[in-house]
Structure 1
Amino acid sequence: METPTVRDQVLQHAQSLLMTRGYNGFSYRDLADLVGVKTSSIHYYFPTKEDLVLEAVNVYSSEVLSALRGIDEALPPEKKLERYAKQFGLVMGNGDQICLCGMLAADIESLPDNVRQAVQAFFKTNEAWLAGVLAEGEARGTLRVNGKVESAARALYASFQGSVLASRLFHSKARLDDVVNAVKIA
């Protein structure tokens, strides 16, 4: 297995720091110490923190959305939700981090516009996927939705995001399980 490049190491550590500390909770000095390079090496790859965070969001989004696309379309909707919850649970690691885009959403007022837009796109993509699953479940009679599926999907996604925040607070992944159990079969 190849050793990750300095650029890749910086991105990996930036993602981890974003998921544990948020946008304003780390500096290039923190990254330099973690990677074992000078801050100038980080500036070579990412001239500004905005550049670094935007790339971290894009890589993270790509990985998460790839996992979403990997959920078998032939599965019943309730099983898709379970798989989605499992993927969401992987984000939590040892329980000390939350969704990178969820963490950045909390920092929305201090984010550059392009990062804000990338975070919003991540949320919208997840909500659209959930809306499709809810619509399918409602059509099959296996899931019940009150109101429009789009509104229910936004509420469900907010519940997933909130559950990882509460799970981190209480050091228990049970909060995530609560979300899945709340939307089970009609």
Structure 2
Amino acid sequence: MPLEQPATLIPDTRTRILNVAEQLLLNRGFNAFSYQHIAKELEVKPAAIHYHYPAKEDLGVAIIQRQRKRLNKWRNLPRLTDLPAQQQLEALFEVYLGHVQHEQRVCLFGSLAAEFRTLPEAMQQELRLLTLELTDFLAGVLEAGRVAGTLVFKGQPTAKAAQVLTTLAGALQMARVHDERQFHLVFEQLRLELLPE
């Protein structure tokens, strides 16, 4: 879950490299950018990037690990954990809405899943862990909502969570191909199915 840094903080070189690399990954895909692209953006020599991340695999792993840390920090925020399940679901939806409103940006999973078989094994493992952690979180929210009567769905919470996350990631891809309206059509259908009348 993207948690923006305060504007007053100037990120260190390592963080700046991660920020640029993540944007390139989301816009182009992991295999479609090089250290040269990052160096040009940061106005440094590629050797400066290799100093922090000797291989591109190291950089890719660091990007996913940072996303996992963001997710764990976000899902443990008191302002989220104190909310009822329905509002926690809405908070997750807001994250995906933020993606689509930011130049139809895809999520990290959506970007990397398309290239999964060409990714280094360490990146594949990190992406699996990210997906499992997000699915487990959403499954817990869905189950709590069903018990409270504020969310409705058939089947197992984990299966429904996987379906919802896959649908949201796919909807972001659709928005990139068409426009934001495509995402909202899918998004409203999800809400219609999950929220009781």
TM-score, scaled to structure 1: 0.91
Which residue of structure 2 aligns with residue 47 of structure 1?
Answer: 54
State the 1:124 CA deviation. 0.7
Mapped contact 2:109–2:169 kept (Cα < 8 A): no
Tell which deviates more after alignment, 144-153 or 115-124: 144-153
User: Residue 167 in 1 paired to residue 178 in 2?
Assistant: no
Q: Using a 3 Å threshold, how does the CA distance of structure 1 residues 106 and 34 change in structure 2: closer, same or farther?
A: same
Query: How many residues of Structure 1 are paired with residues of Structure 2 in the alignment?
Result: 186
> Is the alpha carbon distance of 1:45 and 1:161 closer, same or farther for their aligned partners in structure 2, counting shifts above 3 Å?
same
Instruction: Assess if the C-alpha contact under 8 Å between 1:85 and 1:176 holds in 2.
Output: no
Alignment of 1:33-182 (within 5 A): 33-70=40-77, 72-92=80-100, 94-172=102-180, 173-175=183-185, 177-178=187-188, 179-182=190-193
8 A contact 2:146–2:152 mirrored in 1: yes
Identity %: 26
- In the alignment, is residue 31 of structure 1 matched against residue 42 of structure 2? no
Aligned residue number for residue 11 of structure 2 = 4
The offset of 1:33, in angstroms, is 0.5
Q: Is the 8 A contact 2:75 2:81 kept in 1?
A: no
* Cα RMSD after superposing both structures: 1.8
Inter-CA distance 6–74: structure 2 relative to 1 (3 Å threshold): closer
**Contact map agreement 1:20 1:96 (CA 8 A) in 2:** no
- Structure 2 unmatched ranges of 5 or more: 1-7
Which ranges of structure 1 fall in alignment gaps of 5 or more residues?
Answer: none
CA distance change for structure 1 residues 106 and 72 in 2, over 3 Å: closer, same or farther? same
Q: Deviations over 1:7-38 (max 9, x none)?
A: 21111000001111111110111101001001
> Which residue is 1:18 aligned to?
25
AA of the residue aligned to 2:37: D
Supply the distance in 1 between the matched residues of 2:65 and 2:97 (Cα, whole angstroms): 20
Distance 2:119 2:101 in 1: 25
Tell me: CA distance 1:72–1:5, structure 2 relative to 1, closer, same or farther (3 Å): closer
Task: State the Cα distance separating 1:176 from its structure 2 match.
Answer: 6.0
Q: Which moved more, 1:128-137 or 1:86-95?
A: 86-95
Contact 1:81 1:180 in 2 (8 A): no
Note the C-alpha offset of 1:132: 0.6
